[in-house]
Structure 1
Amino acid sequence: MSMHDKAIPSQTAEPWVRRIQTTAGDLEQEAKSRRYNFLEAVGMMTFILVLLWPVAYLFGVYGGIRAVNTGVNLMMVAGACYLLFVSPFVHRDTAESWGMGNPRALWRMLRDASPGRRAGLAAILVALFVALNCANYSQWHEVAEFFKFDRVVAFFGMPRADIRAYNTHFPGRIVVIAFGSMLSALIVSCCIRYDNFLSAFKTAMCFALPLLALIFLGAYLQRGTAAFARFSFRMWAIGVLGYICWGFVQQLLFSSYFGTRFRKAFAPSADPANRVPAGRRVPYVLRFAAGAGAGAVVLSYAGIRYAHGPGHVDPAILLGIGIVAAFAGAFYGWTYCLDKKRLLVATVCASCFGLIHIASYGLVAVTWLLGIFLVYVFMEDKNRNLIALGFIHGLLGSTFGQLFSKGAAGALEVDYRVGPWNIREPSFVSLVFPMLCIAAYVAFMVWGARNIREER
């Protein structure tokens, strides 16, 4: 047991609970070794990429074997079940460590609060429950589409009524209200963490607003004020709400699972040079800004030339990309100066979020960058709140979708279709990048097995 591992008496039937320091320095309970956490996370991502590309793409899409696609989907569902329902118990993670609510903790908050505070919290819970039910009822068409209820009905051999119109007649309305009540109760009691929401939301906005400004700046540099001509505040607001919900689901898999495994895999740095003194940070920030700007220009030039042809390479667009990337690089460099090891761990972890979006490489870059800051923030318990992270996802996702999709961004149009089943012209070339990523993860696993020595 290392200096970063501590055993404390348990308050339950277990004789002890082992706690380790995470990369950010917080103490969290953990049943497995650091190496186990690392190998599980990297192994799981390797497993996902292998299923999607050498298997599903090569044999299912390119080879046209439909049974392969079915098998891959079943294995992906099995993997998701492991992530959500098995791994937390294997590692003895808590709901709070995943950024989620805890019904017992919520009950204690209500029980121990003063009468005034108890009434206020109860009012918030009731308001959330009612608001979620209203949203479920009014947007039932999208809810039914999201949960694929038509396929569920078909699978069980039930009559294929138009489930998406259930909120327009009886007894369909009863089904809609019943489902909405169950879902709302689950969200209010189990999904929302109340004890740290304000601090987590404040931190989330500190990271989200600069990135939001970069999105607006990028759109303006590319198209000027014309970039905002078709911007609809109503659609943007609806998109924010949708992305918050979708962001919760995504970050439950990535920030919660992968973020937890990675931060438990690496202890906080004990090296005094891990943090750059305030007076010496400017050179670091400038170097990161210059490197990010130059790298983005080169990669964008190659990507636009390959995807759209030499005629679509516009020096003004490349300059705008370089400027935006330089600001993002400066932000990254400033964060690097605060805690080098923590940011590097977050960068590696965020690759899992980015690379799941292959083969939309613009989306890979954007989500990888977003994932870095989400994971970095999520490492501290005071910021570990999935709903707060959902607001980051909502603000940035809806804004980016408004400005860089819908056919208005030209060569910078971002394709939201990802995965092997969305390759328009299947060829072996599409396998090159995924295979390189798989090789990198395998090499990373070998490195971890040899170098991460802290055992249980």
Structure 2
Amino acid sequence: MDFNFEQRYERHSGQVPIEGAEPGKVLKARIWNFIEPIAIYAAILIVVWVSMLDTSKIWMLVTLGGMLLWILIFSPMVHFMYEKDVFLPPEQRNLWFYFFECRGMGSPKKYFFGNIERPVTKSRKALKAKKKAGEEIASSKTPLWKRKKKTILILLILFAIQFSFAIVGYWPEYMDILDDAGLPATAAVGIPVGIGLISLVLLALFAGFSLLIRFDTLKRAAKQLIIMISIGIPLILVFCVIFIYNPELPYFPQPQGSETVLDKFGEWEFFRYIAQWTGYVWWGYVQQLLFLSYFSIHFTRAFDIRTKRGQLLAALCSSIFFGLIHLPTFWLSFFTWVAGFMWALFFMKSKNLFVMGVCHGAMGTLLNQLTPIKFSVGPTSI
């Protein structure tokens, strides 16, 4: 896979040292970005596994909470202070860009208020032609929600369809909940419609699209999504076929009762798949917020990803971490290692957490529904 880091958006991505950066500062930054994720990851594993010895778990929650604050908030702020003149060109040296877009998230500032930069139209000739024709020129000063209205509308329609499938897929369980709560039949339609409308409004107008989706790389990331799913889903299906003919596969969990992989294929329902995927998209987003936007980002700065060797090393380190966290479930750890390697490579190019969450949800849901692999991880799964 060839990554062209000579393009403007990649040179300004916060991963590659800028021209003229002091070699001494670059070396220190690389060492720091290599040691920190390893130290944080080791501390997380120690806390999680040692917590088996403590019944209260309060100290574990406090410690992990502090680490999460460091990972999500304080680490990018501290790194920005000391590394902005190493990885960011002068025009990009602002905490807002480093904190959100460099980590694959959307920019609330650009979404609501736009950004004071050059017009979106890159060609001067095209810009003059538009001015001469009296056409409106989309400037980066224009808020993203105005410039991306069609994209936002398409996303809202897709979310509405996905949510509708989720209701259909879980309709029996949903009706049982209504019966237990003693709610009238009208609530069967009113509640999901109300929740759906509120969710779509929140996504479009408030913290949803502005924070969760990076629009400037969305088109490129969507193309990558097709490639990732085209690779991931066949691998899962091949694994299922292998297990059908080799039911004693080492480390593979035996299905409960007489259920087999063939039974799971027979029970598979499209609506149930979409229903589970609906929630898994956002759970996948949360996981990738930790692994791609923290561990993977640090490793891409630790290695020189302008070379293929650097790309592979950075992706390998990140994927090993992602796989190990799913132990002791061996095959789940194996699949997450393979998927994590692929996601890390594509994330270097697109920096779009939302698309990675969509892919994570699609592949994770299929793996969960077609195989008896346990999805519980950590000491509680022993």
Work out the CA distance in 2 between the residues paired with 1:403 and 1:258: 30
Change (3 A) 1:178 1:390: closer
Aligned with 1:343 (options 290, 312, 324) = 312
Deviation at 1:236, TM superposition (A): 1.4
Change (3 A) 1:138 1:344: closer
Quote the residue 2:178 is aligned against: none
Change in CA separation of 1:204 and 1:46 when aligned onto 2, cut-off 3 Å: same
Partner of 2:101: 96
- Aligned mate of 1:241, from 278, 290, 298: 278
Task: Look up the match of 1:21.
Answer: 16
CA distance in 2, matches of 1:175, 1:208: 29
Look up the match of 1:417. Answer: 376
**Secondary structure of 1:81's partner?**
helix
1:39-438 to structure 2, matched below 5 A, reads: 39-53=35-49, 55-57=50-52, 59-60=53-54, 66-67=55-56, 69-92=57-80, 93-106=98-111, 107-108=113-114, 121-125=148-152, 128=155, 168=187, 181-182=201-202, 185-223=206-244, 226=262, 228-268=265-305, 339-380=308-349, 383-405=350-372, 414-423=373-382
Q: What secondary structure is seen at the aligned counterpart in 1 of 2:356?
A: helix
The alpha-carbon distance between structure 1 residues 31 and 245, as it changes in their structure 2 partners (threshold 3 A), is farther
Residues 241 and 133 of structure 1, relative CA distance in 2, 3 Å threshold: closer
Taking structure 2 as the reference length, the TM-score comes to 0.65
Does residue 37 (structure 1) correspond to residue 33 (structure 2)? The answer is yes
Query: Deviation per CA, 1:260-312, whole angstroms, max 9, x where unpaired?
Result: 11111112466xxxxxxxxxxxxxxxxxxxxxxxxxxxxxxxxxxxxxxxxxx
Does the Cα contact within 8 Å between 2:281 and 2:361 map onto a contact in 1?
Answer: yes
Task: Give the secondary-structure state (helix, strand or coil) at the position aligned to 2:267.
Answer: coil
In the TM superposition, residue 35 of structure 1 has moved relative to its aligned partner by 1.1
The amino acid of 1:105's aligned partner reads K
Give the drift of 1:37: 1.2
- Rounded to whole Å, the distance in 1 between the matches of 2:70 and 2:26 is 17
Cα pair 1:129 1:188 within 8 Å, conserved: no
Contact 1:236 1:398 in 2 (8 A): yes
Structure 2 CA distance, aligned partners of 1:18 and 1:196?
11
Q: Which amino acid aligns with 2:71?
A: L
Q: Partner residue of 1:330? A: none
Where in structure 2 are there 5+ consecutive unaligned residues? 1-11, 18-24, 81-97, 122-134, 139-144, 168-180, 246-260
Distance across 2 between alignment mates of 1:18 and 1:232: 41
1:175-211 deviation per Cα after TM superposition (whole angstroms, max 9, x unaligned): 9977875465212111101111111121232233122
* Counterpart contact for 2:162–2:274, Cα < 8 Å: no
- Which runs of no fewer than 5 residues in structure 1 stay unpaired? 1-16, 23-28, 61-65, 141-161, 271-338, 406-413, 424-456
**Greater RCO between the two (CA within 8 Å, min separation 6)?**
1
2-structure distance, mates of 1:109, 1:223: 55
* AA at the equivalent of 2:282: C
Whole-angstrom CA distance in 2 between matches of 1:379 and 1:176? 33
User: Cα gap change, 1:135/1:74 in structure 2, threshold over 3 Å: closer, same or farther?
Assistant: farther
1:122-177 deviation digits (Å, cap 9, x = unpaired):
2443564687689889979xxxxxxxxxxxxxxxxxxxxx8x99x95999x99997
Distance 1:269 1:189 in 2: 30
Tell me how far apart the structure 1 counterparts of residues 377 and 292 of structure 2 sit (CA, whole Å). 20
Instruction: Output the amino acid matched with 1:104.
Output: K
Q: Which moved more, 1:236-245 or 1:251-260?
A: 236-245
| Alpha carbons 1:137, 1:177 under 8 Å: kept | no
Q: TM-score, normalised by structure 1?
A: 0.55
Structure 1 CA distance, aligned partners of 2:106 and 2:294?
Answer: 15
Verify the 8 A CA contact 2:16 2:306 in the aligned structure 1. no
CA distance in 2 between counterparts of 1:139 and 1:238 reads: 4
Instruction: Decide whether aligned partners of structure 1 residues 20 and 367 sit closer, same or farther in structure 2, where only a CA change above 3 A counts.
Output: closer
The match for 1:25 is: none
Identity over aligned pairs, percent: 25
The size of the alignment, in residue pairs, is 293
Partner of 1:13: none
User: Relative to structure 1, is the Cα distance of residues 120 and 95 closer, same or farther in structure 2, using a 3 angstrom cutoff?
Assistant: closer
Per-residue CA deviation, residues 25-81 of structure 1 (Å, 9 max, x unaligned), is xxxx9997111111111110001011011x212x12xxxxx22x1210221122111
| 8 A contact 1:52–1:72 mirrored in 2 | yes
Indicate if the aligned counterparts of 2:37 and 2:298 stay in contact, CA closer than 8 A.
yes
Alpha-carbon spacing, 1:136–1:180, altered in 2? closer, same or farther (3 Å): farther
* Contact map agreement 1:231 1:402 (CA 8 A) in 2: yes
